[in-house]
Amino acid sequence: MGEQMYDCIVVGAGPGGLSAALFLARYRRRVLTFHNSSPRNIYSHGVHGFLGHHGILPTELLERGRDEVTKHGGLIIEGCVTHAERVADSHFRISTGDEKIVRQTFDARRLVLATGLRDLTPDCPGFRDFYGATVQHCPDCDGFEVIGKRVAVLGHGKNTVGFALRMLTWTDKLTLLTNGDPGDITDEHRARLTALDIPITNQRVTSLEGDAESKQLRSVRFDDGSTLDCDALFFNLGTEPASDLHTMLGCRLDEECSLVWVDDN
- Name the fold adopted by 5-116+240-248: FAD/NAD(P)-binding domain (3.50.50)
Looking at residue 195, its pLDDT comes to: 98
Distance CA 245, CA 112 (A): 11
At CA 232, angle to CA 169 and CA 120, rounded to 5? Answer: 90
Strand ranges in the chain using DSSP code E only, listed in sequence order? 5-11, 31-35, 75-78, 81-87, 91-96, 104-113, 117-119, 135-136, 151-155, 174-177, 200-201, 205-211, 216-222, 227-229, 232-236, 239-241
91-96/75-78 β-pairing: unpaired
Q: Where are the domains of the chain?
A: 5-116+240-248, 121-237
Encode pLDDT of 151-186 as tens digits. Answer: 999 998 999 999 999 999 999 999 999 999 999 999
Q: Give me the helix-helix angle, 158-167 and 187-195, nearest 10°.
A: 10
CB 94 within 8 A of CB 11: yes
Confidence of residue 8 (pLDDT cuts 50, 70, 90): very high
CA atoms within 13 A on the CB side of 234: 30
Fold agreement between 5-116+240-248 and 121-237: yes
Q: Rounded to whole angstroms, what are the CA distances from 107 to 12, 78, 85, 236?
A: 16, 17, 10, 38
Encode pLDDT of 180-224 as tens digits. Answer: 999 999 999 999 999 999 999 999 999 999 999 999 999 999 999
Share of the chain above pLDDT 90, in %: 78
The CATH code for residues 121-237 is 3.50.50.60
Q: Is 18 exposed, middle or buried (0-12, 13-18, 19+ CB in 10 A)?
A: buried
| Whole-number average pLDDT of the chain | 92
Mean pLDDT of 35-59: 87
Question: What does the longest C-alpha to C-alpha distance in the chain come to?
Answer: 65
Distance CA 40, CA 174 (A): 26
Encode pLDDT of 115-136 as tens digits. Answer: 999 999 999 999 999 999 999 9
Looking at residue 98, its pLDDT comes to: 66
CB 25 within 8 A of CB 2: no
Confidence of residue 43 (pLDDT cuts 50, 70, 90): confident
Encode pLDDT of 79-89 as tens digits. Answer: 999 999 999 88
Looking at residue 36, its pLDDT comes to: 85
